[in-house]
Structure 1
Amino acid sequence: ILDVGCGGGATIKDLLKLSEESIIYGLDYAQKSIEMSSLNNKDELNKRVFLKEGNVAQLPYEDNMFDLVTAVETVYFWPDIQKGLEEIYRVLKKGGCINIICEGSDPEEAIDWPKIDGFFKIYRPSELQELLLEAHFKDVAVHHGQGQYISVVGVK
């Protein structure tokens, strides 16, 4: 499993419990996030958890390496989302899945979000669905949760 934009490592911690046999890789462009994720997953670090600083638009992994790629609360910050999705497609095995999870999915209703330095964009579910299709994912489905929460899933 690859967790792109792993931040402080909360998703990795959850994945360790949900998939007890898995090896989980985490990637984030911020060194501070890698440090926090390392601390939060220290018991499994370099055993079942492997972290790297890097960019989703240039993933430092081999083709066809992962069964699942998660992107939780991170696509907002990708300056080139299409390149990121193409890279994720490249590193997924045939039949592997991507799962994008966002708590914000309506840019018109995002007025209470803090001002972010750098690139920041909230995508509508239909936009993410179209972007995944353009990146050659199939069986793309959007699942709605409470409020603006969405999970967008696609298969290689």
Structure 2
Amino acid sequence: MALLQRLIEQAKKPNGFVGSVMLRIMNVAHSGMNTWLIKHGDVYDGDIVLDIGCGGGKTLQTLSKMNPAGKIYGIDFSEQAVKDSIKTNKMDVANGKVIVKQASVSNIPYTDQFFDTITAFQTHYFWPDLANDVKEVFRVLKHGGKFIIMSELYKIHYHMKAYKTTSEIEQLFESVGFQKIQIIQNARKGCLCIIGMK
């Protein structure tokens, strides 16, 4: 049980060598979600995009490739994740296309209505205060912009005490001010995607 708890802590806030290994595993594990994002075309070329909980940086790389004229930002609570994301996106970071910062979703270091699209893959169940953190996401999202959460269902059920059901998450998005909410559940893959339009 202690080992499981240590692994959960490393998933939540990767640190050191073990954290770096965990981030590489996450890069591979999240590839299906990145493929889904590409397939559904929810990011447009020229968008200014934020990935919350950018982890090992593979999603930033995907977002950059599908959005050649845009700019990609990543934030992560973990210093190790920021280092690994920068390393994974070395060329795009060097030319200023990808910008990665250590920051919390509870205090996103950007001005109001800054981003066209915001993504969060396999991270929202670790956020300190989901209701307030979704408000913070809403603040930095442009009018007409979209917020995309994607997660495996079993992780939602394991980690979350509230907002486990699609109706609860839909009510949360509505209460914050999202105008249109789309929920896509893939039972075969065990994934949930929530898209909120501002």
- What is the RMSD computed on CA atoms of the aligned residues? 1.5
Deviation readout 1:40-99 (Å, 9 max, x if unpaired): 111101511001111111111000100000011100101201111101111011100000
Q: What is the CA-CA distance between 1:4 and the residue it aligns to? A: 0.6
Which amino acid letter does the alignment assign opposite residue 69 of structure 2?
A: E
Length-normalised TM-score, structure 1 = 0.87
Structure 2 CA distance, aligned partners of 1:65 and 1:30?
23
Which residue number corresponds to residue 91 of structure 1? Answer: 140
Structure 1 CA distance, aligned partners of 2:167 and 2:57?
28
**Structure 1 position 150 matched with structure 2 position 192:** yes
Matched pairs, number = 145
Which amino acid letter does the alignment assign opposite residue 130 of structure 2?
A: I
Which residue number corresponds to residue 116 of structure 1? Answer: none
**Structure 1 position 121 matched with structure 2 position 169:** no
Deviation readout 1:88-144 (Å, 9 max, x if unpaired): 11101110000001112562xx5xxxxxxxxx4273322222221121111101012
Length-normalised TM-score, structure 2 = 0.69
Instruction: Identify the structure with the greater helix proportion.
Output: 2
Structure 1 CA distance, aligned partners of 2:195 and 2:111?
22
Deviation readout 1:7-29 (Å, 9 max, x if unpaired): 11111111111111110000000
Query: Which has the larger displacement, 123-132 or 1-10?
Result: 123-132
Which residue number corresponds to residue 52 of structure 1? Answer: 101
Contiguous gaps of at least 5 residues in structure 2: 1-48
Alignment of 1:1-156 (within 5 A): 1-46=49-94, 47-104=96-153, 107=157, 110=158, 120-121=159-160, 123-145=164-186, 146-156=188-198
Q: Secondary structure at the match of 2:74?
A: strand
Q: Which has the larger radius of gyration?
A: 2
